A = this chain, B = another copy of it.
Amino acid sequence: MTISVKVKSCIERASWIRKMFEEGALLRRIHGEQNVFDFTLGNPSVEPPEAFRRELLQLAQHPVPGMHRYMNNAGYEETRSAVAEILSEGSLQSVEAHHVVMTCGAGGALNVVLKTVLNPGEEVIILTPFFVEYKFYVDNHGGVTKEVWTDRENFQLDLEAIEAAIGPNTRAVIINSPNNPTGVIYPQEDLQALGELLARKERELQRTIFVISDEPYARIVYDGQSVPSIFSCVKNSVIVTSHSKDLALPGERIGYLAANPAMAECDEFIEGAIFCNRVLGFVNAPALAQRLVAKLQKERVDIEEYREKRDLLYDHLTGLGFQMVKPGGAFYLFPRSPLPDDLEFVRMAQKQNILLVPGTGFGAPGFFRIAYCIDAEIIRRSLPAWEQVAKEVGL
């Protein structure tokens, strides 16, 4: 055996996902790109805001000496300040540059935070349905995930279930709002209640329990909603996020982590995070992207476009009898599977050239995920195929 036993077994277990992708690719070859309705990937089809292109052109035309060199592992002061300013705006806390570490996306930020805080065998609570990478991220750093269901009707926090899951080894709770895969936003009062619960548990267990708030969709919200600042609700909280979705830059790997200024031993936490950002091999977030996003903290992609897609699909599918929560943010729908076996349903939809991810992939059998961050035209063309699927399952 050449590769590690664990990595080998992960690859083998993931083979069904690969098989699904391969079948999707095959369908595209057979039926043509435009006739396969691929709702599987959270890879925005939109382009970055015009301001991004403008800033990139400006920088390419007038390069700044040294702009591709190493900088402080935490990132450019200018970028960290710009991020801190935006975070302060929505929060009771005054966030400053030294509370922020620029990272290679939210995936990088999560790994950095987990390595910073986890001792071997400590537990991280993740909320079902969950982004499947969380399990790998926690395992990377010797932690153990504990899965706690959200409310199965509305996917909101189940505080009793979270309380029951907290024990002497709990180090963190990862939350993700607006949520992938459900699209729901956690309201301020629930986050405040979570903060109170954790403060009580911290006293009881005499240990710090972090909320790691994964927020890449925080600026993709609809109907005048907004995402409450976790810093106003939970003392020992860390934001991890990226510009993958709000500026449509997922390939550029640009994000950050920010520590609640109210956190106990905040300076030590940040120092640890900078060290981990370095030794995990990220070293620093990409220099060019850092320089660009420093100027784009108030920009975002066209949210109306996403809202229209959400409404189009939500209305059509609920009209056909599918059951789902109407999401307030992100670009996912997470309907109940009309068949008890979500994998069977996904295979059935595939026969109509509709590609979906089964809820099982998020620890939530009995549901399926639709990523609607694709061309509106493809969504429209998919509508009759959805009707066919609804008919076949007897809706």
Give chain A's interface residues, CB within 8 Å of chain B. Answer: 1-8, 10-11, 14, 41, 43-45, 47-48, 53, 56-57, 59-61, 63, 65-71, 104-105, 107-112, 115-119, 133, 136-137, 140, 142, 208, 210, 236, 248-253, 263-265, 268-269, 271-272, 275-276, 278-289
**Residue of B with least CB distance to A54:** B60
Option from B7, B68, B112, B263 in Cβ contact (under 8 Å) with A251 = B68
Contacts of A111 in B (CB 8 A): 280-281
List the B residue with the shortest CB-CB distance to A103: B281
How many copies of this chain does the complex contain?
2
Are the C-beta atoms of A65 and B43 separated by less than 8 Å?
no
Bound Cα distance from A45 to B265, whole angstroms: 36
Complex CA gap A163/B250 in Å reads 45
| CA A368 to CA B208, docked complex, whole Å | 42
CA distance A2 to B206 in the complex (A): 11
Contact between A47 and B65 (Cβ–Cβ < 8 Å)?
A: yes
User: Across the interface, do A251 and B117 meet the contact criterion of CB distance under 8 Å?
Assistant: no
B115 touches A4 (CB 8 A): yes
Closest to A244 in B: B70
From B118, B252, B283, give the contact of A286 (CB < 8 A).
Answer: B252
Asked if residues A253 and B283 are in contact (CB atoms below 8 Å), the reply is yes
A43 to B236, CA, bound (A): 36
- Contact B69–A43 (Cβ < 8 Å): yes
Structural contact, A282 and B279, CB atoms closer than 8 A: no
**Complex: A44 Cα to B208 Cα, angstroms:** 41
- For the complex, what is the distance from the CA of A93 to the CA of B63, rounded to whole Å? 39
Q: Do B287 and A288 touch (CB < 8 A)?
A: no
In the complex the two chains form, is B252's CB within 8 Å of A68's CB? yes
Complex Cα distance, B11 from A249, in Å, reads 33
Q: Across the interface, which residues of B come within 8 angstroms of A236, CB to CB? A: 2
Instruction: Please indicate the chain B residues that have their CB under 8 angstroms from the CB of A3 in the complex.
Output: 116-117, 265, 268-269, 272
A selection of 23 A-B contacts at a CB cut-off of 8 Å is A1-B265, A2-B208, A2-B269, A3-B116, A3-B117, A3-B268, A3-B269, A4-B117, A7-B115, A7-B116, A8-B272, A11-B275, A45-B69, A60-B60, A68-B249, A70-B250, A104-B253, A107-B281, A108-B282, A140-B280, A251-B286, A253-B284, A253-B287
